[in-house]
Each structure stands twice: as C-alpha cells, then as structure tokens.
Amino acid sequence: MCRIPFSLVLVLFCLQTHVAHTQNLEAEIDKLYQVDNNSPGFSVAVYQGDKISFEKQYGNANLGYNIPITRETVFDIGSIGKQFTAAAILLLEAEGKLAINEPAYTYIENLPRYKKGNPTIEHLLNQTSGIKEVDSYLEVCDIHWRDYIRPSMLTHIITNIETLNFTPGTILTTRMPIIFYYRLS
C-alpha cells in the first residue's frame, strides 16, 4: 500500500484550489470586460496581498496601428489622481492635521499673499482659487507638458505669479493648476 504524506496532499490541494480559483476568476473577469476588435482597452490585475494572482490585458493601446495592450503598456491617467488627493486631504482634515478653510500659504511654502484674497485649501480642491494656469508660462519657457518637468519647476512658476485671475471662491474654473494637486499630495 502506497502512503502519500499528508503535507504533499495539502500542497496539491492548495495548488488545485488556486488554479481553479484563478480559472474561475478569469472567467468572471472576462464576463465583465468585453472588448471588440480594434477597440480601446485596459489592463486588469488582481492582487492577493502583495502578489498578483491574476493579470490580463484587453483591447488596443493604439487603434491606428492596431497595437494591443501588453503588461508593459504605459497609460496616461490624466486627472484621475485628483480625486484620491482630495480624499487624502479630507482624511488629514478629519485627523486634525490640517484645515481646508485655512489659507493655502499655510501649507505651500512661498505662496504669495494676494491682493484679491488668499485661496484656501478648499478653494484649491474646488477649483475656485483664482490662481492662474501655468500652461502659458511653460510655453514662454519652451516647455511642453509631455516634457520632463520637475515639481520644483512648477512650484517656482506658481510661487512667482503675484496676481489672481479672480477673487478666491467667486468663480469655478474648469481647469486646475496641476501643481496644486502635486503640492497637496
């Protein structure tokens, strides 16, 4: 009679369970994410602890050349980080580590005191600060947004703009200087 050690049976069971879970997970994710041929895509990764238990890419990174998304594809996240920065700021306020109704210069070193009023952290988060966009200043310096821009470069530009477009809190702007979300984070 052949005796199989219990530890070997346990390892085999765990492996079988993991494989079945991964296959089931892939089927469930495939149900959620359907991509047509030559359509924009995305990448999915499921972590268990600090390890990836499932990873798969769907669709194309470049529609013109029909280039599929791979695990090396770099995605432009645009402004998606702003909501996480805002949530983190509100958590800091809940912990008593800052107050969003205080002037931004309290937390952003060298930010000028403005004649039209001083924007608060809340104004920065709500895009009602009145602080000018840095785009035109970058153009004067022959810098493009896709160039490598050190955070200190943006900070230098912002802290040297001495006037506001409008009184803080009076107008909602559609664009927010990215530097403030960087500085707030």
Q: Give, for all 185 residues of the chain, the pLDDT tens digit.
A: 444 333 333 333 343 444 445 568 888 888 887 888 888 888 888 888 889 888 999 999 999 999 999 999 988 777 777 888 889 999 999 999 999 999 999 988 888 999 999 999 999 888 888 888 777 777 777 777 666 777 777 788 888 888 898 999 898 776 655 555 555 65
Domain boundaries, the chain: 6-68, 81-184
What is the rounded radius of gyration, in angstroms, for the C-alpha atoms of the chain?
A: 25
Helices (H), the chain: 6-32, 81-94, 121-126, 135-140, 151-159, 178-184
Q: Give the DSSP per-residue string, 80-121.
A: THHHHHHHHHHHHHHTTS--TTSBGGGTSTTPPPPTT-PPBH
What is the longest distance spanned by two Cα atoms in the chain?
92
- Which amino acid belongs to residue 6? F
Q: What is the pTM of this model?
A: 0.59
